[in-house]
Structure 1
Amino acid sequence: MDVLRLDDQLTDEERMVRDTVRAFVAEKITPHVGDWFEAGTFPSRELGPELGKLGVLGMHLQGYGCAGMSAVAYGVACRELEAADSGLRSFVSVQGSLAMAAIYKYGSEEQKQEWLPRMAAGEAIGCFGLTEPDRGSDPGDMLTRAHRDGSDWVLNGAKMWITNGSIADVAVVWAKTDEGIRGFVVPAGTPGFTASDIHKKISLRASITSELVLDDVRLPADAVLPDVTGLKGPLGCLSEARYGILWGVVGAGRSCYEAAVEYAKTREQFGKPIGSFQLTQEKLAWMEIALGQAGLTALHIGRLKDEGKVTPQQVSFGKMANVRAALDTARQARTILGANGITLEYPVIRHMNNLESVLTYEGTQEIHTLVLGQAITGIPAYR
């Protein structure tokens, strides 16, 4: 149903990634994810090593057991993962593009050797502590603090909406210090560090979301990420994660679209399939166009990234445009399925609810609007 035949533009290696991840998802995830969503659970411990064997954890990083594949190959993997569920892609994104990427980009060689091989294998799970209970879009105003006590660091504060938080073996936590914002590698089990799950979610239910609390957490001097100070550290990681999102949501939208097409061809009203009615065909045509444009955007930004030319503004463009395209597609698909569209027998309402979260995490639509506004006018309008 890809009228533009975008996957013809993929290399043989990228198509191999597509087929391998798609087969894994079909066997291991799709038959169960509706039940996980309904139960509000995600078998991270069981799936972690399998995703490690698949090679998707930190797959765009070089060395330390990582696959070292292209940005486009990573994007294609994210697309196929999120075609199953945004929670699955979130798990992979947080592991590879946030926690692992922070250690890879800014960590010491000792930190890399200690954590990255195990995280690439899925034997250790990571999380990324930036967002706070009252500090979302303005992370520079964070309240979490770290101060020196002799040669140690002592951290106090809280982080909110942290994917993988309660199951993580290690957290990358960002805190204000006298010298600016710094990142810290915090192993689970460190005294004073606790994580509790957030319940009663209606979105991203097949994903573990937690609050982290740091109460006089004492860390050795070598726990700090040595190679970055300031917001450029966490924002650099967020740009990596947003890149995965702009690919991933194309998969979520595609899943909804395919369900709508199949339903329209088999559901009969007034003596014929509803897909034969002009209004239904108009909906499907606009869904095809939206996903085609989103796919083109993802592929173009991916090629720029592989050439070392991508900018944060381009990533914001892709995240903002593609999430909106996927969410609009999900909503349209829901109307085609009618009452059946609200059941977990079909993937549409699950994707639609998930995409409501994807719309606002890793930068809200409003923040990405201001990123593009500044790129267009040269004038920042955040305050």
Structure 2
Amino acid sequence: MSTSTRITLDPLDLAGIDDLLTPEEKAVRSSVRQMCEERIQPYVADWFEQGTLPDPRGLAKELGSLGVLGMHLEGYGCAGMSATDYGLACVELEAVDSGIRSLVSVQGSLAMFAIWRWASEDVKQRWLPAMAAGQAIGCFGLTEPDHGSDPANMRTSARQDGSDWVINGRKMWITNGSIADVAVVWAQTDEGIRGFAVPTDTPGFSAPEIKHKMSLRASITSELVLDDVRVPQEYAFPEVRGLRGPLSCLNEARYGIVWGSLGAARSSLAAALSYSKDREQFGKPIAGFQLTQQKLADMNLELTKGMLLALHLGRRKDAGTLQPVQVSLGKLNNVREAIEICRTARTILGANGISLEYPVIRHMNNLESVLTYEGTVEMHTLVIGQAMTGLAAFR
């Protein structure tokens, strides 16, 4: 066999993981990457610095036209693509900014999935086609000011009054809250925790935006305030009771993070690699020094392992065999390693690493939020520990 043919390797994919993707999957990735590079990447550092997302509705419509909003859902105007397609899209979205991936993730994997999976047919028909097109924006109200990792003790409540439900409570750290047209709200009832699709123009509903963030600054984060918000019976999710409803949605969102966090890591590694070849010290590029190459190699190893894990979980999800503990494995590992990649990349860039002229410090700050939301390190650690030992250590 001839060995004369020389294979050119991608320095960010030395393992050749791309060979495991189908042409269709690569085409999805290419389309999302092109849109992000043209529409978002040139401006996102300024958005982050200003702490704003200037035209979220316009951006949502563009993302809807691309087909990435609820892209892994079937029917109702959704693209019906595979879980692996969705994961690859998340990588490209988060490679430009975690806030952009959060917008898509909350819209599709939390708000749309909750309605698609649990709402009545009338509610699905009312909201899902518009949400898939980006013409309506959704948010997901679970976390409260005093209850994050322990949603079973949420204080938001809903009581029946005739044929209506009346909801009172507060939700905190809600992506898309101030721009949402519909809020999926989880509340305590006499029947246990139930979900509601609440139009945000309902009297008593407000969503003040949260300011002074140092993370996810190119993303809209809000508090939800519900004061005697009255909604008809048909807006309540008819079948699901307890934490099964919200946790099913969180599992969808966590899956996207398994992939998306690697986009931030890849972007930071690419910036460090490019910078190290241009930056000269002691008469040569710093890429030529052993300690720099060790950092680059270690970052590449962790990115490679994270991508292999994400792809494996994506194939399991497409096969219908993915388990929640496996998502916890992916979320815990990939976000933790992505942050470490970003921090190491920052050291290669030196003082320039803290400048928004480069993406690294922005990704570092964003990933601090990603590490916490959709399950903290502690919670995913205990999920894995329980699966290993058969013993719950949450209390």
TM-score tier by shorter-chain length is over 0.9
Which residue of the partner structure matches residue 246 of structure 1? 258
How far off its partner does 1:12 sit? 1.2
How far off its partner does 1:94 sit? 0.1
How far off its partner does 1:255 sit? 0.1
1:15 aligns with 2:36: no
Which residue of the partner structure matches residue 214 of structure 1? 226
In structure 2, what is the Cα distance between the partners aligned to 1:359 and 1:336?
Answer: 23
3-state secondary structure, aligned to 2:216: coil
Which residue of the partner structure matches residue 326 of structure 1? 338
In structure 2, what is the Cα distance between the partners aligned to 1:374 and 1:243?
Answer: 20
- Give a deviation string over 1:267-287, Cα, whole Å, max 9, x none: 000000000000000000000
In structure 2, what is the Cα distance between the partners aligned to 1:281 and 1:311?
Answer: 37
1:232 aligns with 2:251: no
In structure 1, what is the Cα distance between the partners aligned to 2:218 and 2:280?
Answer: 33
2:33 corresponds to which letter in structure 1? R
Q: Among 123, 144, 157, which residue is 1:145 paired with?
A: 157
Q: Identity percentage over the alignment?
A: 68
In structure 1, what is the Cα distance between the partners aligned to 2:29 and 2:235?
Answer: 37
- Give a deviation string over 1:184-234, Cα, whole Å, max 9, x none: 010011000000010000000000000000001111111101131110100
3-state secondary structure, aligned to 2:315: helix
Which residue of the partner structure matches residue 171 of structure 1? 183
Matches within 5 A, 1:336-375: 336-375=348-387
How far off its partner does 1:13 sit? 1.1
3-state secondary structure, aligned to 1:351: helix
In structure 2, what is the Cα distance between the partners aligned to 1:14 and 1:65?
Answer: 20
Matches within 5 A, 1:14-53: 14-42=25-53, 43-53=55-65
- Give a deviation string over 1:243-269, Cα, whole Å, max 9, x none: 000000111100000000000000000
1:129 corresponds to which letter in structure 2? G
2:94 corresponds to which letter in structure 1? E
Matches within 5 A, 1:173-322: 173-322=185-334
In structure 1, what is the Cα distance between the partners aligned to 2:339 and 2:239?
Answer: 38
In structure 2, what is the Cα distance between the partners aligned to 1:121 and 1:378?
Answer: 44
Matches within 5 A, 1:15-164: 15-42=26-53, 43-164=55-176
Task: Give structure 2 stretches of 5+ with no counterpart.
Answer: 1-10
In structure 1, what is the Cα distance between the partners aligned to 2:323 and 2:263?
Answer: 23
In structure 2, what is the Cα distance between the partners aligned to 1:227 and 1:245?
Answer: 28
Q: Report if aligned partners of 2:172, 2:223 keep a CA contact under 8 Å in 1.
A: yes
3-state secondary structure, aligned to 1:199: coil
- Give a deviation string over 1:43-99, Cα, whole Å, max 9, x none: 311101100000000000001000000000000000010000000000000000000
In structure 2, what is the Cα distance between the partners aligned to 1:209 and 1:336?
Answer: 32
Q: TM-score if structure 2 supplies the norm length?
A: 0.97
3-state secondary structure, aligned to 1:219: strand
Task: Give structure 1 stretches of 5+ with no counterpart.
Answer: none
In structure 2, what is the Cα distance between the partners aligned to 1:131 and 1:66?
Answer: 27
Runs of 4+ in 1 over 4 A off after TM superposition: none
3-state secondary structure, aligned to 1:211: strand
In structure 1, what is the Cα distance between the partners aligned to 2:18 and 2:252?
Answer: 22
In structure 2, what is the Cα distance between the partners aligned to 1:203 and 1:128?
Answer: 19
1:274 corresponds to which letter in structure 2? I
1:371 corresponds to which letter in structure 2? V
2:127 corresponds to which letter in structure 1? W
- Give a deviation string over 1:327-347, Cα, whole Å, max 9, x none: 000000000000000000000
3-state secondary structure, aligned to 1:69: coil
3-state secondary structure, aligned to 2:372: coil
3-state secondary structure, aligned to 2:304: helix
Q: Report if aligned partners of 2:119, 2:235 keep a CA contact under 8 Å in 1.
A: no
In structure 1, what is the Cα distance between the partners aligned to 2:316 and 2:46?
Answer: 38
1:149 corresponds to which letter in structure 2? D
Which segment drifts farther, 3-12 or 27-36? 3-12
In structure 2, what is the Cα distance between the partners aligned to 1:361 and 1:127?
Answer: 14
Aligned residue pairs: how many?
383
In structure 2, what is the Cα distance between the partners aligned to 1:137 and 1:338?
Answer: 36
1:221 corresponds to which letter in structure 2? Q
3-state secondary structure, aligned to 1:200: coil
1:290 corresponds to which letter in structure 2? E
In structure 2, what is the Cα distance between the partners aligned to 1:296 and 1:334?
Answer: 24
3-state secondary structure, aligned to 1:62: coil
